[in-house]
Amino acid sequence: MLVLSSQAAWEAEDITIVARSRFIKQREQKLSHWSAAVKDQLEALINRMIENGIQFPEAVSEFEKRFIQRLLEKNNGNQSKTAEALGIHRNTLSRKKEELGLDHHFKRRKRHTR
């Protein structure tokens, strides 16, 4: 068991805070690159969902399901690449797939032989 002094514990907490703030800044930078057209489409979709009485949990679940599905398809079912693209751990992806009913196998592309 590793015991840290109170100063070392604060330093470890400071490191965590700095890492989180860097992560948040990176996310904000990615979001700032969204085009105005994409933002407008998202805004219109949100408005339609609200008008149709779609509740937040249902909207989030459907978004997660479709987003993960598309990335799995793009990566030919490769969970490691998909998890990396999502910015989550592979075990988290496996759990999400099961929760969202995405636990089916993808057909791998056949390799061309010469």
Confidence of residue 103 (pLDDT cuts 50, 70, 90): confident
Please determine, for residue 78, whether its predicted confidence score (pLDDT) is greater than 90.
yes
For residues 100 and 82, what is the distance between their CA atoms, to the nearest angstrom? 15
Q: How many CA atoms lie within 13 A of 40 on its CB side?
A: 3
Is 0.75 surpassed by the pTM of this model?
no
Domain 62-105 matching CATH 2.60.120: the answer reads no
Assess whether pLDDT exceeds 90 at residue 14.
no
CA atoms within 13 A on the CB side of 33: 5
Q: How confident is the model at residue 81 (pLDDT cuts 50, 70, 90)?
A: very high
Q: Provide the residue ranges of all domains of the chain, joining segments of one domain with +.
A: 62-105
Q: Is the predicted pLDDT of residue 41 greater than 60, yes or no?
A: yes
Residue 96 pLDDT exceeds 70 = yes
Q: What residues contact residue 89 under an 8 Å CB cut-off, 6+ apart? A: 83
pLDDT of residue 77: 93
* pLDDT at residue 97, as a whole number: 95
pLDDT for 4 beyond 60: no
DSSP H helices, the chain, are 6-32, 36-51, 56-74, 79-86, 90-100
At 111, the pLDDT band (50, 70, 90 cuts) reads low
**Which structure tokens are listed for 89?**
């751990």
